[in-house]
C-alpha cells in the first residue's frame, strides 16, 4: 500500500470556467457534479488546467472553497496551492486546509529555478506548517527545472508529503521514486498513465478526465484487476484525445475548446492564452467525432 492510496485512480484537473471574464461558479459546481456522477476519486481545482496563473489571489481561494463546497464530501478535493514564492504557497496551502480540502497539489517553484536544497526547504516549510497531505507536482517542462528523484526521496521522510504528480515523462525517474519510497505516484500526463502504472504508479491527475472520466477510470480499474489487455485497449482508445490535449496547443486551450464543442463550457480563456485557430479546432473536432463524442 502506498502512503495516500485513497487517491488511487482518477483525479481530474478541472478547468476554471469563465463567463464574460468572470469565474463561473455555477459551471464549476456542474463540473464537480459531473465527476461525482462518473465515480472519479478526486477533483483538482486551480492547477495548470485551472489557469491558476491568471487568477487573482481572491479568485484562487474562492475556487478552492467552491470546489470543496460542491464536493460535499462525496469526492476528494486536491487543491492547487503552489507558487514560486514559498510564502504564497504557504498561504494557499493554509487556505486549502482551512477550506476543508483533502490534499494540496503543490507545483515545484517555477521561474526562479531553486537548487535541489531550495526545493527541499520549500516543501519542508509547507509540510511542517500545515497538517494536510501534500502532492509534489513535478513538471520541469513548465517550471524550468526537475526535482531530482534523490530530493523526492528526501521529501518522503516528511510524513505529510504523501504523493507525487509525475510529469517529467521519465519512466526511469518514476521507477526510482517508486522503488525507494511508499509515496503515491500519480501520472501527470494522460498518455503516460498505463506505462507509469506498469511500474507502480497508482493513477493519474488527468486532463481528458474532464470529458471522458469513465474511460480513464475503466483503464485504472482494468490494470488493477490484472486485465492488461483491456487496459491496453483503453490506453489506445484514449491516446488520440490525450495527444490532442497536449499537441494542438498549450493546456488548457484544447480541453476548453473540447468542452465548448461538447456544450459543457463557454471555452473562455484569459490572456495570455488564446483560442485554437480554425485548423487546430477542425483537427480537434475530427478527433472528438472519431472517439464517438459527437457526429462529424
Catalytic residue positions, numbered: 137, 165
Please report which residue ranges of 23-164 form alpha helices under DSSP H: 25-38, 57-71, 86-99, 116-129, 140-143, 149-155
CA pseudo-torsion sign 236, 241, 242, 244: positive
Which residues fall within 8 angstroms of residue 6, CB to CB, at 6 or more apart?
41, 76
How open is the CA angle 69-36-12, to the nearest 5 degrees?
90
For residues 209 and 279, give the distance between their C-alpha atoms in angstroms, rounded to a whole number: 24
Q: Burial of 73 by CB count in 10 Å (0-12 exposed, 13-18 middle, 19+ buried)?
A: exposed
Cα–Cα distances (Å) from 124 to 94, 118, 138, 153, in that order, read 14, 10, 15, 13
Nearest to 175 by CA among 203, 146, 195: 195
Which residues fall within 8 angstroms of residue 164, CB to CB, at 6 or more apart?
135, 136, 137, 138, 152, 177, 183, 184, 185, 186
| Contact predicate 51/16, CB 8 Å | yes
According to DSSP, residue 192 is labeled G
Amino acid at each position: 500500500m502506498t502512503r495516500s492510496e485513497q487517491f488511487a485512480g482518477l483525479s481530474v484537473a478541472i478547468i476554471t470556467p469563465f463567463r464574460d471574464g468572470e469565474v463561473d461558479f455555477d459551471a464549476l459546481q456542474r463540473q464537480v457534479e459531473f465527476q461525482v456522477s462518473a465515480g472519479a476519486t478526486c477533483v483538482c481545482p486551480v492547477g495548470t488546467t485551472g489557469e491558476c496563473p491568471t487568477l487573482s489571489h481572491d479568485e484562487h481561494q474562492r475556487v478552492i472553497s467552491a470546489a470543496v463546497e460542491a464536493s460535499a464530501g462525496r469526492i476528494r478535493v486536491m487543491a492547487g496551492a503552489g507558487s514560486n514564492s514559498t510564502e504564497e504557497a504557504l498561504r494557499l496551502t493554509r487556505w486549502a486546509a482551512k477550506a476543508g480540502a483533502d490534499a494540496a497539489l503543490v507545483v515545484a517553484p517555477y521561474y526562479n529555478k531553486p537548487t535541489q536544497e531550495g526545493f527541499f526547504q520549500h516543501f519542508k516549510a509547507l509540510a511542517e506548517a500545515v497538517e494536510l497531505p501534500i502532492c509534489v507536482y513535478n513538471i520541469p517542462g513548465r517550471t524550468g527545472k526537475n526535482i531530482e528523484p534523490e530530493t523526492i526521496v528526501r521529501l518522503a521522510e516528511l510524513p505529510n508529503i504523501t504523493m507525487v504528480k509525475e510529469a517529467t515523462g521519465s519512466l526511469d525517474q518514476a521507477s526510482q521514486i517508486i522503488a525507494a519510497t511508499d509515496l503515491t505516484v500519480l501520472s501527470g500526463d494522460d498518455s503516460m498513465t498505463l506505462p507509469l502504472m506498469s511500474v507502480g504508479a497508482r493513477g493519474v491527475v488527468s486532463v481528458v478526465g474532464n470529458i471522458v472520466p469513465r474511460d480513464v477510470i475503466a483503464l485504472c480499474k482494468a490494470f488493477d484487476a490484472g486485465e492488461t489487455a483491456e487496459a491496453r485497449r483503453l490506453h489506445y482508445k484514449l491516446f488520440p484525445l490525450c495527444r490532442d490535449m497536449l499537441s494542438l496547443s498549450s493546456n488548457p486551450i484544447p480541453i476548453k475548446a473540447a468542452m465548448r464543442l461538447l456544450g459543457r463550457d463557454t471555452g473562455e480563456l484569459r490572456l495570455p492564452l488564446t483560442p485554437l485557430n480554425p485548423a487546430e479546432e477542425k483537427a480537434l473536432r475530427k478527433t472528438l467525432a472519431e472517439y464517438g463524442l459527437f457526429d462529424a
